[in-house]
Structure 1
C-alpha cells in the first residue's frame, strides 16, 4: 500500500485530494493507495463568503464543509502534527482531546503540507488577548457572534468595530459589518490608500473608497494598530479608539510543521517549492505555508484562496503522476482576477485586467465563489440564501440605493489628520 498524508484542512488539502483522486480513483478505492488527512479542524472553512456571514446574509454553517464530505475516500484524523521525520518518512501527531504525551506515528510515502497561515497577532500588544483574527479554527464563528450581538455600546454612534488592514479581506469585512447596520466601523491601514492588491487599477480603488464612505466607514490611512486593550485600540499616531471589537486582517505567517527545518524555508518561514511544487524528496506544499514562484515573474504568488486552490490541485496531480511513474509538470497558472464586495449588488472586480464595478462585478464574484465551494449542495443552498436575502433587502423601506459620495474629511483620516 502507498500512503499519501495531507496535513491541514484548507484549500490546498481538498484540492490536492481532488487532483490526486482524479487520476488514481480506482487505486484509492481498492486500498492500493491510502489518503490520510491530518487536520486540527474537522471542517473546511470557505473564507470567500466571510463578509456575507458578518453581514447576516448567510449563516456561518454555509461556509463549513466536513472534510469527510469534501474528501470522501480519505481517512480524516482530527489531530495536531507534532513532528515530521523526513529520513524515516513518518509523521507524529496527537489526536484532538488526547493528552499531549499520547502521540501516534504514521508512515508516509508522500507528504503534502497545506497548513496555511495565521495572522501575526503577537506583534501587536494585546491583540491576541482582546482582538479577533480570521484563520484559526472557530475565529470567524466567534467574530460573527460578536457582530450579531451588537458588541458593547460605546456612545451615540453605537458599537464601534475597528478593522486593522486595508487589503481585500479588511475592506470586505469593514463593508460587511457597516452594511449590516448598528455599528460604527473604523478601518486602519498603514498604506496611503486601501486595496494595495489593486494598485494597478486606480479607478477601482477610488470606487472602493467611495463605497466605504457611502457605508460610513471611517478610514485611518498611513497609521498602524499599535495596541489593543479590553476597551480600546491605540494607533501609531497616538489616536485612541474606544472599542471592544478589533479585527486583524494584517496578513499572515505560515503555520510551521516541526521537523521541516529552516533549510527548506525562506526568510518569511514559507516552505520553498520547486516549479512542480515539491519541497524535498516526496514532500510537497502550496498555499500560505509555501513560497510558490509565479511562472512568469518568479515572484511569490499572492496568498489568497484562488492561488491555493489552483496550486493544490496541480500538486495533487503531480503526486499522482509520480506514483504512476510519469514526469511531473511545472505549475503554470498565471492568475484570474480579484474582487471585493460592498453589500448586495455592489462590488469591484478585475478579470484578466478588465475592471468591473457595481452589479456585474458582484455577479462575477458570486459566480466565482460558488464555483469553487467544496460541496455542490452547499453551493446551491448558498445561492438560495443569497437570493432570499436580496429579496428581503429590496422590500425594506430603506432599500433605495444611496448615491456614491466622495470620501469626505469626516470619513477619511490620513496619518491622523483629515484628508
Structure 2
C-alpha cells in the first residue's frame, strides 16, 4: 500500500487538494470549473473513460459502436496543469482523517466531492436482479447487445416453438426515458431489420412489451408528451401495461401483479435507480433512493469539507421535496456551481446556494418520432426528433465521437440497417459468465 499525497504522488502539495470520486457529468463539470485554479484536483474513477449514458440503449441494440459514447478522461484534461487522474476503486471514505481507502492505496483530501452517480435499483428482489438485464454502463449495454443477438440467432434454429417465441419476446420494465427509448428501438429493429437480416423468422414472431408502474409513460414530462409517446409506441406494435408491477422473473416466466404471465428470455430493467457510493457515510445521512443528504451548496450535512453532487445527492428544497431530478443537467449544474463555491470558500468569500435551471426534456421513440418539453413549448414528431439528435451529438465528448455518431446515424437512417450487430463475446445470463459483469 502507498499514499497518494499530491498531484505527482511524490511530494505533499501546499495547495488545497480537491478529490473527486466519479468521472460522470458532475465530476467532469466540477474539474473543468477548477481549471488551473490554485488547487490540486485528483479525479478517481474505476474506468478511465467518461460514458455518455443517454445513448447506452443505442449501443445495446447495435445502432452505434460502444467506443463512440466513451471518451478517455485524461484526454479531456490534457491542458490542465493542476489535474491528475487515477483509475481506482474507492472502497471507503474516512472522514475522521480526511482519507480514502482505495485499491491503489490511501488518498488524502482537503475537500472531497462524491460524484459517483447511480446504479440500477432492483428493489431488493434478488431473483430479478440475477435474471433481468440492467443498462447503466458500457459493459452492461454490450451484455444486452450480446443477449439480444444470441437469442435471435438461437430462435432461428430452435425446433421448440414455445422456446422460439420466448427467445423473441422482449420485455422492458420501466416507462421513463430509458425504457421508452429502448422499447422504441426494439420495435424499430422488429419492423426494419428482423425480416431483412434474420431469415427464417418474421416480425410477427417478435413481441415487445413495456411495463410501467405509473399510470402514464414519461411521468416527468408533460401530459402531451406522455400521451404522444404512448401513441407512437402503440403504433410501432409495443404492448404497454401501465399501473402494474413485476412480481418475479425466473429467467423464463415474468409475472405481473395483475395476474398476467409473460414467457420471455429477455427482460431489460429500467424501472429505477439508487445512489451508488463507497462505505463511510453514516446511515443517518442517507435518504430515500440511497442518496446523500446535502445542504444548499451540496455539502454533506454534518461535514465541512465533504460534498456530493448529481444522482447520489439529495438536496431537499420546497421546490424539490424529493431532491432534484437524476439527469445530466442537474449533475453538470451542481458541479459547476460547487466548483465556484469551493474557490469562494478557499478565498474566504461567500458561497451561493444552488438553483436548478430546468432546460427541458427530450425523448425519442423511433425514426422521425420524439417528444420535447422546452419550458412552455411542447412539440412532438419530426422536429422534436431532429432536435433530440442535435442536442445529443453536441453533448458528446470529443469531436471524433460527434462525427462517428453522426455518420453512423446517417448511414442507419438511409440504409435502415446497422453494421454494429456483432456477437463479439458470449454472455450467459443464467450464470452471469461475462468478463464485464463486475461493472
User: What's the TM-score, normalizing by structure 2?
Assistant: 0.80
**Partner of residue 119, structure 2:** 118
Residue 250 (1) aligns with residue 271 (2): yes
Give yes or no for contact 1:52–1:58 (8 Å, CA) kept in 2.
yes
Q: Give, in whole Å, the separation in 1 of the partners of 2:279 and 2:55.
A: 32
Q: Which residue of 1 aligns with 2:356?
A: 333
Cα deviations by residue, 1:14-38 (Å, 9 ceiling, x for unpaired): 11111221xxx164xxxxx322122
1:16 and 1:312 in contact (8 A); partners too? yes
Residue of structure 2 aligned with 1:39, choices 45, 51, 55? 45
Shift of the 243–298 alpha-carbon distance from structure 1 to 2, 3 Å rule, reads closer
Give the Cα separation in 2 of the matches to 1:328 and 1:160.
Answer: 53
SS in 1 for 2:103: strand
Give 1:8 deviation, angstroms. 1.6
Show the counterpart of 2:17: 3
* Residues 217-226 or 310-319, more deviating: 310-319
8 Å Cα contact 2:311-2:326 kept in structure 1: yes
| Change over 3 Å in CA distance of 1:383–1:317 after alignment to 2 | farther
**Partner deviation per Cα, 1:348-389 (whole Å, 9 max, x = no partner):** 111113111111111221222223222233123222222222
Aligned CA-pair RMSD: 2.3
Separation in 1 of the partners of 2:76 and 2:322? Answer: 31
Gaps of 5+ in 2: 1-12, 156-162, 195-205, 419-439
Secondary structure (helix, strand or coil) at the match of 2:63 reads: coil
Q: Which residue of 2 aligns with 1:68?
A: 74
Corresponding residue for residue 346 of structure 2: 323
In structure 2, what is the Cα distance between the partners aligned to 1:289 and 1:309?
13
Residue 193 to residue 381, structure 1, CA distance change in 2 (3 Å): same
SS of corresponding position for 2:287: coil
What residue number does 1:144 align with? 145
User: Residues 85 and 125 of structure 1: is their aligned pair in 2 closer, same or farther, counting only changes over 3 Å?
Assistant: closer
Question: Which residues in structure 2 correspond to 1:47-62 (within 5 Å)?
Answer: 47-62=53-68
**Offset of 1:289 from its aligned partner?**
0.5
1:266-288: CA deviation from partner (whole Å, max 9, x where unpaired): 24431122212222311111111
Displacement after TM superposition at 1:137 (Å): 6.0
Deviation, structure 1 residue 85: 1.6
Which of 94, 101, 109 is equivalent to 2:103?
Answer: 94
Aligned position for 2:328: 305
Equivalent position of 2:168 in the other structure? 159
3-state DSSP of counterpart to 1:196:
coil
CA distance, structure 1, for counterparts of residue 142 and residue 412 of structure 2: 20
Normalised by the length of structure 1, the TM-score is: 0.83
CA distance in 1, matches of 2:214, 2:280: 37
- Go from structure 1 to structure 2 and tell me whether the alpha carbon gap of 1:388 and 1:317 turns closer, same or farther (over 3 Å shift): farther
Shift of 1:214: 1.8
Report which stretch shifted further, 282-291 or 272-281: 272-281
Matches within 5 A, 1:352-371: 352-371=375-394
Kept after mapping to 1: 8 A contact 2:215/2:242: yes
> 1:150, CA displacement in angstroms?
4.3
**Deviates most, 334-343 or 366-375:** 366-375
For the Cα contact (< 8 Å) 1:277–1:315, is it kept in 2?
yes
The whole-number CA distance in structure 1 between the counterparts of 2:96 and 2:142 is 40
Q: Secondary structure at the match of 1:58?
A: coil
Residues of 2 paired with 1:175 and 1:381: CA distance? 22
Asked if structure 2 preserves the Cα contact closer than 8 Å seen for 1:350 and 1:356, the reply is yes
Structure 1 residues 144 and 87 mapped into 2: Cα distance closer, same or farther (>3 Å)?
A: same
Question: How far is the alpha carbon of 1:328 from its aligned partner?
Answer: 2.1
Equivalent residue number for residue 215 of structure 1: 236
Report the CA distance between 1:291 and its aligned residue.
0.5
Which residue of structure 2 lines up, in the alignment, with residue 403 of structure 1? none
Q: Give 1:298 shift.
A: 5.3
The answer (yes or no) to whether the contact 2:61–2:186 under 8 Å persists in 1 is yes
- Aligned mates of 1:53, 1:137 — CA distance in 2: 8
Looking at structure 1, the residues matched to 47 and 257 of structure 2 have their Cα atoms a distance apart, in angstroms, of: 35
Match of 1:405 in 2: none
SS of the counterpart of 1:49?
helix
Q: Cα deviation per residue 1:138-161 (whole Å; 9 max; x = unaligned)?
A: 211211222344445344596111
| CA deviation string 1:98-129 (max 9, x = no partner) | xxxxxx11110111101111112262342221
Cα drift, residue 257 of structure 1: 2.2
Task: Tell me, yes or no, if the aligned pair for 2:167 and 2:265 is still in contact at 8 Å.
Answer: no
Mapped partners of 1:223, 1:134: distance in 2 = 21
2:31 corresponding residue in structure 1:
17
Contact 1:125 1:227 in 2 (8 A): no
1: CA distance between counterparts of 2:65 and 2:312?
A: 29
